[in-house]
Chains A and B, each alone.
Chain A
């Protein structure tokens, strides 16, 4: 993505599904939902908490399960005019706090009231269950005004095991903004050039340029060209397979001190048996074909040995 000021942006998605253990109390509640039952839990003070938690507000462990509902009363609500992708309903609906009959606390859920005019505090509601239930709060599709017909609940299979685990998907969509100095560095990659940033105070050349020197704390706007060859300061051979691996293992990940830079960059070395990798080995960038060049470090496909004699230890000692 290009901005008017030349700063690069790119989408970045963090996405993962955690697998949560429910513990006994939440597990019992989710098992109930799967079976079309609403349950709360009795607190040490004798009140009934819905949805149940393992510990009450005084820090005491909660006790026995208590059947509640299925009908309840709206204690407060907010109208959603434009439902979002993650919402339980596609048509406008209310988020409501619903105090189920027999409960002392209100639980948050959706009410499919048809229109905002039909919603009010004090409205009596009853659950609408999904036909296929898995042991999730979404098994309870929503609540509906109690005067409307409620969907029938099928009996659960008698021997279905209790719910002990539930998937918890997380997805975060970011726009990563590279900033001015990193954008200059990345754009140079498109022209097979490597650009560092020099600190005016200590004269160290940072790669990528950072706009400020981390040791001197001064602006470092000056850019300098750095060679696309250098010395491996240290490395490891990745032999563990993992989802995001760029190549099937084994492959060599290196820290390379490019000529003209004072800080190694991390990259990969190919064109050599992994066992032949050495500290002090001289390597040169292998660029992707011209038509694949872009504003990314991935414009360097990997590094390859130059075949020149290794650098001596003193040259890499300060860069470990």
Chain B
């Protein structure tokens, strides 16, 4: 075993939808995995190991996906690992898979993440009736809306900015054939007039519930040389976490996110992310998280992220496109949402993104977060071998 560079040579995803009643969960993950293998022009037998991730168990009631899905993923007789970090799981699953390549343990690894939200109810899963307290939880929006309000208050941001992100990501989604939400004629008025769900978060400022899966084939330097299509190279990868509750915790701008970004930039030798990164796929389940993460990731100073969004810089065609795929706001199979960010970043530097391709994309950031903003996973991928 010896250390090697890791490259992405196969990427596959499903057409994300509200309900894929035509397939089982096994059929859904198989679809994404088969597309990743086809992209890499590899067969199931070429894969050395499988690394799988999914949403928290209550979300869809599948407790042991590594057991249930081993056959569908051709994992018989091979190592199969399951990764579990709440909403960031798609990102950290890809990172665990990449690390088994970088360490020289495996040569070709299939990594897969999925969720079939139509079989369950995330609002139920996130609002348990816990003993010893009144019913205080109200889904993910109930948790994150107060943080969004705190951000708006702290940064003095105009209400329009959240709506701009909601429009921008849905406009991008119209260029992505895999995106779930395709809202023709989406504009600020449509977002403004949509119902308030968790005030200050409107319906059209939230992510949908999707059925979908994402898969990638990761390989070493020899595998990258043999790849029929240009590989995306991993320039840096990192995960960080922090406790969900401690005195003085900055939940709007979490330390773990800042630390994770610093680490991944150092590995990729990025001095100024605003200059050195061509685009980013960020985990933005509620529109206001775009400016929040722009600050947390060092693309803008604290309190200034919304100005970047407002200026149009984060639109496709802007100087720092954010979520050209349409992002989590357009497709949200939760367990796969993080991996989709990582995969879309890789598609961009492979010049594979079709209509939502960012011209000349050389380096891209894939980002995922999860839990109560306590898990972070990031990778930087590039067109050139680092």
Contact = CB atoms under 8 A, between A and B. Distances in A.
Interface of A: 8, 10-12, 14, 16, 18-24, 26, 53-59, 61, 164-165, 168, 170, 176, 178, 182, 186, 202, 204-206, 214-215, 233-240, 242-246, 250, 253-255, 262-263, 266-268, 274, 279, 295-298, 300, 313, 317-320
Nearest to A21: B21
Contacts of A263: 245-247
Contacts of B145: 236
Given A239-B195, A239-B197, A320 B71 contact: no
Contact of B71 (A56, A165, A266, A319): A56
A178 B132 contact: yes
Interface residues of B, number: 65
Interface string B195-226: 11111110000000000000000000000000
B198 A239 contact: yes
Contacts of A206: 247
Given A165-B21, A236-B198, A243-B124, A11 B131 contact: yes
Contact of B246 (A10, A54, A214): A214
Contacts of B123: 242-243
A60 to B, nearest CB: 8
B385 interface: no
9 contacts: A12-B130, A18-B119, A21-B118, A53-B71, A233-B150, A240-B141, A262-B247, A298-B132, A298-B134
Contacts of A53: 71
Given A237-B198, A263-B245, A267-B136, 17 more contacts: A12-B131, A18-B60, A18-B61, A20-B24, A21-B20, A23-B27, A59-B44, A59-B73, A176-B131, A178-B131, A215-B247, A238-B142, A238-B199, A242-B139, A279-B153, A296-B134, A298-B132
Interface stretch (B176-184, B248-256, B265-273, B358-366): B248-256
B245 A214 contact: yes
Interface of B: 20-27, 30, 44, 58, 60-61, 71-76, 116, 118-121, 123-125, 127-139, 141-142, 145-150, 153-154, 195-201, 243, 245-248, 250-252
B58 A22 contact: no
Given A20-B24, A55-B30, A236 B199 contact: yes
A299 to B, nearest CB: 9
Contact of B24 (A54, A204, A295): A54
B119 A14 contact: no
Q: Decide if the interface of chain A is mainly helix, strand, loop or mixed.
A: mixed
A54 B198 contact: no
B199 A274 contact: yes
A6 to B, nearest CB: 14
Contacts of A317: 154
Contacts of B136: 246, 253, 266-268
